[in-house]
Amino acid sequence: MARVKETEPRTADADDLVNQAKEYAFVKKQIEYLEKQKKDLHAKLFEKIDGDGFVDDKGNVILELPTEVDGYVSVMKQRRVSRKINEDKAADIIYEHGLQDSLYKTVIVVDEDALMAALYEGVLTEAEIDEMYPQSVVWALVMNKR
């Protein structure tokens, strides 16, 4: 006959810290694995789309699936365009046309070095500096290994 400890519980308590930590670690590991798998599949699909797909009028590259997959009939490498000003090029053109007075605006920002100097000189108090730099607390769950 097997020996059983009298004080050892026979069922796992879902609210038990150790069981919750085990489950969290397991789920975290699964997510990491799935993210890597998703990244690998993404690269493979882009390769196939680039090789066999067709470009539509918007610049997207589309590859029809041979059969429907969970309601999907094609995969698409979607073209997304964003525009951000090239400050150096803009400055060259603005100065070339003499438009700096009308195309630049003055933005007032706090000089943090001067702010700290004012604290050290006693012009501002630490309490005033604390008001200017309110704390924002964010909590992260970290699983530590030995």
Give 101-143 pLDDT, tens digit per residue: 999 999 999 999 999 999 999 999 999 999 999 999 998 888 8
Tokens of 7: 């004080």
For the segment 54-80, what is each residue's pLDDT rounded down to a tens digit? 999 999 999 999 999 999 999 999 999
* Residues with Cβ within 8 Å of residue 20, at least 6 apart in sequence: 14
**Residue 48 to residue 93: CA distance in whole angstroms:** 42
**Residue 102 to residue 106: CA distance in whole angstroms:** 11
Model-wide pTM > 0.85: no
Count the residues in the chain.
Answer: 146
